């Protein structure tokens, strides 16, 4: 509890004790008024001050104004106990709301407690703690067991296990050894390691994630925008309604010759004002989204704004990139077929031609070759997007790629009957054979797609640059409903745009990619989800939602979290508005008194806030 909250609690206790004492003190008249004003000002002076400032700033209609008018009016009418009680319970509700919001923020701060306080730099044989912002790229930092890795880098010395729970939501530690890339925010669990930094602190993973979470509140959902606009018009409307309730019935009674009963109608109007206070909605709706985003962060799902969380709950179409999303993206050479030159020579030519490419297939060829590659032997490299590579190796022209590349070069090639990615190789303009490369499904891919179907997804679509035969085989195995193969990166954008045009406007399309080369498609979809994005700057920048590990099950978890959060939001909207309408009608008819009004305001707010913070555990 903060100092400010403690002061409010002390004022609440003092006001409550004074109110109880005054209830048993037999005083009347002016003395009674003076005595009741003591607890009233103890508990309500700040509300009266805010209301007065609002009037001076021409921002009259807010909850402070409503409380001030209602309580001052009650005291003027001689209802001293009720006037003080309304202000007392309103402050109790405000304290509770402040504590709940603070608890949510603390929970999120704990979940995202990945900002390092220092970095260890070795100087003259001793470790010196410095601000991470002061560490330059290429510096060697030392991370001892139990410390956070402060900056992204490569392990230069030592082996250890890393706790990535704050980033991925997974408790299983990861091993790290010399040569491995490690990212900031992980906790070093076992051995001392030395890391050569590859980024400045401001560009490191931990900084990007913290910026993402901190800025998420700036992107409001439709529900939040609606409540903001609703309160803007609702509060003045109920003030004028209360004024009409206080004035019109007595005037009508006078005209027709009945007792105007001014006190009775003014009391009803004041009750009407207390009931109408929109605190429950104005506080609980943003708090629900705030808690939902925090709960998602705990599960390793980073949401860039409540608008994306709300949109995800309306998802009906999920489009997947294949490689690295549904499959591991770890390609291995499974065989060499139809070779017209020695197989080891065929693999050597293919590995050298592909050695300048960063594509996973290129890396798999180099790995299968197994020897150090001397890139000075290679010249005239030309990488053709979506097709392959041409190069000159030791003066010999080599082409390695798919069937499109062979057709482009006018080279006849043979089909491969096995399922996998086929790299056709041509040497000096003649077909030399093909290399079969296989990619494995991720462990939870099938289960993840089954869970998405249970969540009501209408279509599960897979886009890939692979051959039709390979793509259809994978799609059948995992249960994808639609598959589009042999696509270039630009074709994926066109296909997503085509799907966007065909679907109903209210239903959202989600694209899920690995974040390496999917930025255009991630941006074009209604919601872009980058998975396995731990340390991927491109993914964090391009996607609306970032899954910090590569488990496909996190997709269904993210949708489940969004649906639960939105359900809580609408529960609060319907509950708060429903109770208030009932109490407003009863108050106008004189059935509900000021105590019922206190429940309609403070009671409803407390219940709504309690319901809202359930979103912190939306991933459970």
Instruction: Please determine, for residue 316, whether its predicted confidence score (pLDDT) is greater than 90.
Output: yes
**Dist CA 115 CA 149 (whole Å):** 9
What's the chain's average pLDDT? 82
Share of the chain above pLDDT 90, in %: 16
Instruction: Please determine, for residue 105, whether its predicted confidence score (pLDDT) is greater than 70.
Output: no
Instruction: Please determine, for residue 169, whether its predicted confidence score (pLDDT) is greater than 60.
Output: no
Give the residue-averaged pLDDT of 160-186.
78
166 — pLDDT class (breaks 50, 70, 90): low
58 φψ region: left (φ > 0), alpha (ψ -120 to 50), beta (else): left
Active-site residue, 175 included: no
Instruction: Please determine, for residue 295, whether its predicted confidence score (pLDDT) is greater than 90.
Output: no
Model confidence pLDDT, tens digit, residues 326-335 = 887 777 888 8
Q: Give, to the nearest 10 degrees, the angle between helix 80-111 and helix 63-76.
A: 160
Instruction: Please determine, for residue 63, whether its predicted confidence score (pLDDT) is greater than 80.
Output: no
* Lowest-confidence region among 145-149, 278-282, 375-379, 547-551: 278-282
425 in Cβ contact with 284 (< 8 Å): no
Quick one: CATH architecture of 119-150+152-198? Distorted Sandwich (2.70)
Measured CA distances, 433 to 339, 356, 399, 414, 425 (Å): 4, 21, 11, 8, 6
Q: What are phi and psi of 396, to 5 degrees?
A: -105, 130
CA 119 from centre of chain: 28
Q: Which residue of the set 62, 152, 321, 439 is catalytic?
A: 321
**Dist CA 375 CA 81 (whole Å):** 89
CA 417 from centre of chain: 44
Determine the pLDDT at residue 324: 77
Q: DSSP of 127-142, one letter per residue?
A: EEEE-GGGPPTT-EEE
The token duo for 333 is: 């050479």
Q: How many residues does the chain have?
A: 620
CATH 3.40.1110.10 intervals, the chain = 332-438
Determine the pLDDT at residue 393: 92
Determine the pLDDT at residue 506: 87
Model confidence pLDDT, tens digit, residues 487-512 = 877 788 889 999 999 888 889 999 99
Q: Which residues contact 54 (CB under 8 A, 6 or more apart)?
A: 60, 62, 64, 65
Instruction: Please determine, for residue 220, whether its predicted confidence score (pLDDT) is greater than 70.
Output: no
Determine the pLDDT at residue 543: 81
Q: DSSP of 574-609, one letter per residue?
A: HHHHHHHHHHHHHHHTT-S-HHHHHIIIIIHHHHHH
Instruction: Please determine, for residue 390, whether its predicted confidence score (pLDDT) is greater than 90.
Output: yes
Determine the pLDDT at residue 606: 81
Instruction: Please determine, for residue 592, whether its predicted confidence score (pLDDT) is greater than 60.
Output: yes
168 in Cβ contact with 548 (< 8 Å): yes
Give the residue-averaged pLDDT of 34-61.
85
Determine the pLDDT at residue 41: 92
577 in Cβ contact with 568 (< 8 Å): no
Name the fold adopted by 332-438.
Answer: Calcium-transporting ATPase, cytoplasmic domain N (3.40.1110)
Model confidence pLDDT, tens digit, residues 553-586 = 889 999 999 999 899 988 988 888 888 888 888 8
Determine the pLDDT at residue 428: 92
Instruction: Please determine, for residue 32, whether its predicted confidence score (pLDDT) is greater than 60.
Output: yes
Determine the pLDDT at residue 540: 67
Instruction: Please determine, for residue 417, whether its predicted confidence score (pLDDT) is greater than 70.
Output: no
CATH 2.70.150.10 intervals, the chain = 119-150+152-198
193 — pLDDT class (breaks 50, 70, 90): very high
């Amino acid at each position: 509890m903060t100092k400010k909250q403690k002061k409010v609690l002390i004022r609440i206790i003092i006001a409550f004790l004074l109110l109880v004492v005054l209830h048993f003190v037999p005083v009347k008249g002016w003395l009674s008024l003076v005595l009741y004003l003591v607890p009233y000002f103890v508990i309500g002076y700040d509300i009266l001050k805010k209301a007065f400032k609002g009037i001076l700033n021409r921002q009259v209609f807010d909850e402070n104004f409503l409380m001030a008018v209602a309580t001052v009016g009650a005291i003027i009418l001689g209802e001293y106990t009720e006037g003080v009680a309304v202000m007392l319970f309103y402050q109790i509700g405000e304290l509770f709301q402040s504590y709940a919001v603070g608890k949510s923020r603390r929970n999120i701060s704990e979940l995202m407690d990945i900002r390092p306080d220092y970095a260890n730099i070795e100087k003259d044989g001793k470790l010196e703690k410095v601000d991470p912002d002061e560490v330059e790229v290429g510096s060697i930092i030392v991370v001892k067991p139990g410390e956070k890795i402060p900056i992204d880098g490569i392990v230069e010395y030592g082996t250890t296990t890393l706790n990535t729970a704050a980033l991925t939501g997974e408790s299983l530690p990861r091993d790290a050894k010399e040569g491995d890339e490690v990212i900031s925010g992980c906790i070093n669990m076992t051995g001392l390691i030395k890391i050569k930094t590859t980024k400045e602190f401001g560009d490191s993973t931990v900084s990007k994630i913290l910026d993402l979470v901190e800025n998420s509140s700036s992107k409001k959902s439709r529900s939040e925008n609606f409540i903001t606009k609703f309160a803007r018009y609702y509060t003045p409307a109920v003030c004028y309604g209360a004024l009409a309730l206080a004035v019109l019935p007595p005037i009508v009674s006078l005209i027709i010759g009945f007792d105007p009963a001014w006190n009775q109608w003014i009391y009803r109007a004041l009750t009407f004002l207390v009931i109408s206070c929109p605190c429950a909605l104005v506080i609980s709706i943003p708090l629900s989204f705030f808690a939902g985003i925090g709960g998602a962060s705990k599960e390793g799902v980073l949401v860039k704004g409540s608008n994306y969380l709300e949109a995800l709950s309306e998802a009906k179409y999920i489009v997947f990139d294949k490689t690295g999303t549904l499959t591991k993206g770890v390609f291995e050479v499974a065989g060499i077929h139809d070779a017209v030159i020695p197989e080891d020579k065929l693999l050597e030519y293919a590995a050298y031609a592909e050695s300048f490419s960063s594509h996973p297939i290129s890396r798999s060829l180099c790995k299968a070759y197994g020897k150090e590659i001397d890139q000075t032997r290679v010249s005239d490299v030309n990488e053709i997007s979506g097709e392959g590579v041409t190069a000159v190796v030791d003066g010999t022209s080599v082409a390695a790629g798919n069937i499109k590349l062979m057709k482009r070069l006018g080279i006849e090639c043979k089909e491969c009957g096995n399922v996998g990615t086929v790299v056709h190789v041509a040497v000096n303009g003649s077909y030399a054979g093909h290399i079969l490369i296989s990619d494995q499904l991720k462990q939870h891919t099938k289960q993840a797609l089954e869970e998405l179907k249970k969540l009501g997804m209408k279509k599960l679509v897979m886009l890939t640059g692979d051959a039709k035969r390979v793509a259809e085989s994978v799609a059948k195995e995992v249960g994808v409903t639609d598959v589009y193969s042999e696509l270039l990166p630009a074709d994926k954008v066109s296909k997503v745009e085509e799907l966007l045009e065909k679907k109903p406007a209210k239903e959202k399309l989600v694209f899920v990619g690995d974040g390496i080369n999917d930025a255009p498609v991630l941006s074009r979809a209604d919601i872009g989800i980058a998975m396995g994005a731990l340390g991927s700057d491109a993914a964090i920048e391009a996607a609306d939602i970032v899954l910090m590990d590569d488990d496909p099950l996190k997709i269904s978890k993210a949708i489940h979290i969004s649906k639960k959060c939105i359900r809580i939001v609408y529960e609060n909207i319907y509950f708060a508005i429903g109770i208030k309408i009932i109490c407003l009608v009863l108050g106008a008819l004189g059935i509900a008194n000021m105590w019922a009004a206190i429940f309609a305001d403070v009671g409803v707010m407390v219940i709504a806030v309690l319901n809202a913070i359930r979103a912190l555990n939306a991933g459970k």
